[in-house]
A and B are shown apart, each in its own frame.
Chain A
């Protein structure tokens, strides 16, 4: 992976991908911090992993099957209870379609 240095433009791009608004000042300190973290994880390059299967979870390899049945539901008021803005059991969001 050689040197994958994050520059300020990259910080802004991943901040946008993460839907995080960041100030110019934050972008600067993040550039330094993220590069520090990434430089540190580069240690992993020294470890040979040819032919090693990736481990995705420490749990059981096979997930349990259950009956395909409705086990919950029918309580819209519960689901809407914490919504910052709602109306008639609908979540309200800023206008998306012109």
Chain B
């Protein structure tokens, strides 16, 4: 096994026992990126020099006489979703409007990771402003899943919005990644790619320095290849931060320790409302399998009711666009990002925003503006907030009877590029039907691989917990992982030649700017800008392939 395919826990052990060096580990990831990123388009910026510098620092610490300098994630190479501001490294949220934005500050979550000794490999592809479920709305073009259905060579989506994070982790381009989740953007891509993703409780991670989408719903979290890795990453990412007034002052427990707790007698809730019309038989079978696994582990299965489940998605599509329309008002061509001239200042605003935002972002801004406008506020926005109260009340009542809730993570396995949401945006929104309730209620939710579809694609189970009970959520996820095993890295069709082989052998030149440079001109030139934009409606063009 090459080093980039290790889990974080395995790599940490090898680094600590001096079996491998941090520089070797980072080199292996950089080589995997160079060999695979052209096909996958997971990384949109590669920071090879910075990565090697950080890895050398880690090696210094491993080599020092005192072990005191060795930090929790020392030498672990990670990918960072392009939603996190990284000092001096372009941060765009995969939008044209931020195409040249270089933050002068670091987000709290990423700073926490660097303070814990992690190494940044680069920035990861995502749906524009995290609005999407397939990574197809990215200004830098879609990210492709490393998974394929059976013997088919059809391109599948990795899910979204954290598609780059999920694809990079699933393909072994990095050991773990940051992601973010507003309606399912960590859990749905994790489910599609056979990775583990956890959206912690609202307030568990600081939102400071994350590009805002819907502030009452956005939450940072990791995507990794095992439950233990997800625990290790979340432990480092979470903190109480005075720079985010919604950051919770609740102490973060030792999540790794929580994984060792017994589960006998654990009460697992099964909400009947999640058996939705038209749910694929294999998803239902997966769910039943999950129930059986918990039963075998000595857990108690309890039927619960979450009556407002069906209302969560429509309510979300009022609340989230409303908050987005307000948050995205800041992109005005004055302080940062793209500026397109107009006949006066209003003309400049309108031209800048028309050119800078993609079709899905515009739709959501318009919906948000409409539901907040005079005369409609009560009918839509206030109504949705009241429904949100009812959704939360459902969970509060269910959690009086159970410790965790088990559901499927998505209604289907991964779908083909360009096959959904072309003409009907609502079809794409339905991807989040099982995940969005959790954001509305601010609860922690985990997606863990539970099995495969008939075509061999990964399927995810979701574990929902009480506020700030991430330890138990992860522990419950471990029950599933122990029973079905970790999802392997799929056969690497995406690797170019045997570049990976030779690189891995040793003398690695920094693959440096290559993958990054490819994306840069796309951002810089206006002519090229038209191309990625057209990818937001790939329906017609790509459907023929399927």
Most buried by B among A6, A16, A36, A82: A82
- With A15-B366, A33-B363 given, can you name 5 additional A-B contacts, CB distance below 8 Å? A14-B369, A21-B350, A57-B442, A81-B102, A84-B333
Chain B residue nearest to A15 in the complex (CB): B366
**Among all A-B residue pairs, the 6 with the closest Cβ atoms:** A58-B442, A54-B385, A82-B336, A84-B339, A1-B379, A49-B386
Query: In the complex, A21 Cα to B346 Cα: how many Å?
Result: 10
Interface contact A20-B362, CB-CB below 8 Å: yes
B203 to chain A, nearest CB (A): 5
User: Contacts A20-B354, A47-B308, A78-B104; is A58 near B382 (CB within 8 Å)?
Assistant: no
Cβ of A25 under 8 Å from chain B: no
Interface contact A82-B338, CB-CB below 8 Å: no
Interface contact A37-B310, CB-CB below 8 Å: no
Interfacial residues, chain B to chain A (CB-CB below 8 A): 100-102, 104-105, 202-203, 216-217, 242, 245-246, 248-249, 308, 310-311, 314-315, 317-318, 325, 329, 332-339, 341-342, 344-351, 353-354, 357, 362-363, 365-367, 369-370, 373, 376, 379-380, 382-390, 392, 424-426, 439-443
Quick one: which of A30-44 are within 8 Å of B by CB? 30, 33-34, 36-38, 40-44
Query: In the complex, A47 Cα to B426 Cα: how many Å?
Result: 20
Chain A residue nearest to B310 in the complex (CB): A43
Chain B residues positioned under 8 Å from A33 (CB to CB):
363, 425
8 Å CB contact of B248 from A56, A60, A66:
A60
Query: In the complex, A92 Cα to B404 Cα: how many Å?
Result: 54
Interfacial residues, chain A to chain B (CB-CB below 8 A): 1, 4, 6, 10-11, 14-22, 30, 33-34, 36-38, 40-45, 47, 49, 52-60, 63-64, 66, 71, 75, 78-79, 81-85, 91, 93-96
Interface contact A53-B386, CB-CB below 8 Å: yes
User: Contacts A1-B380, A52-B389, A54-B382; is A34 near B366 (CB within 8 Å)?
Assistant: yes
Query: In the complex, A95 Cα to B441 Cα: how many Å?
Result: 46
Interface contact A59-B248, CB-CB below 8 Å: yes
User: Contacts A21-B353, A59-B202, A64-B245; is A52 near B386 (CB within 8 Å)?
Assistant: yes
Q: What are 16 A-B interface contacts by the 8 Å CB criterion? A: A4-B376, A4-B379, A17-B373, A18-B325, A18-B369, A19-B350, A37-B363, A38-B367, A44-B318, A47-B387, A55-B385, A56-B385, A58-B441, A66-B242, A82-B335, A94-B345
Interface contact A83-B363, CB-CB below 8 Å: no
B15 to chain A, nearest CB (A): 35
Most buried by B among A20, A52, A58: A58
Query: In the complex, A83 Cα to B339 Cα: how many Å?
Result: 9
Interface contact A91-B335, CB-CB below 8 Å: yes
A48 to chain B, nearest CB (A): 9
B141 to chain A, nearest CB (A): 22
Query: In the complex, A66 Cα to B384 Cα: how many Å?
Result: 32
Chain B residues positioned under 8 Å from A57 (CB to CB):
202, 216, 246, 442
Interface contact B317-A59, CB-CB below 8 Å: no
Interface contact A85-B339, CB-CB below 8 Å: yes
Chain B residue nearest to A13 in the complex (CB): B373
Query: In the complex, A16 Cα to B350 Cα: how many Å?
Result: 8
Interface contact B384-A44, CB-CB below 8 Å: yes
User: Contacts A20-B353, A43-B311, A54-B385; is A83 near B390 (CB within 8 Å)?
Assistant: no
Most buried by A among B341, B367, B380: B367
Interface contact B442-A49, CB-CB below 8 Å: no
Query: In the complex, A45 Cα to B311 Cα: how many Å?
Result: 10
User: Contacts A1-B380, A20-B365; is A44 near B334 (CB within 8 Å)?
Assistant: no
Chain A residue nearest to B427 in the complex (CB): A36
Chain A residue nearest to B242 in the complex (CB): A66
Chain A residues positioned under 8 Å from B308 (CB to CB):
47
Interface contact B337-A40, CB-CB below 8 Å: no
Query: In the complex, A22 Cα to B361 Cα: how many Å?
Result: 13
Query: In the complex, A54 Cα to B315 Cα: how many Å?
Result: 12
Chain B residues positioned under 8 Å from A64 (CB to CB):
242, 245, 249
A96 to chain B, nearest CB (A): 5
Chain A residue nearest to B350 in the complex (CB): A21
Interface contact B363-A30, CB-CB below 8 Å: yes
A17 to chain B, nearest CB (A): 5
Chain B residues positioned under 8 Å from A60 (CB to CB):
203, 246, 248
User: Contacts A1-B379, A19-B349; is A36 near B335 (CB within 8 Å)?
Assistant: no
Interface contact A20-B366, CB-CB below 8 Å: yes
Most buried by B among A14, A34, A43, A64: A14
Chain A residue nearest to B378 in the complex (CB): A1
Most buried by A among B217, B338, B349: B349
Query: In the complex, A96 Cα to B342 Cα: how many Å?
Result: 13
A38 to chain B, nearest CB (A): 8
Chain B residues positioned under 8 Å from A85 (CB to CB):
339
User: Contacts A20-B354, A47-B387, A82-B102; is A36 near B426 (CB within 8 Å)?
Assistant: yes
Chain A residues positioned under 8 Å from B310 (CB to CB):
43
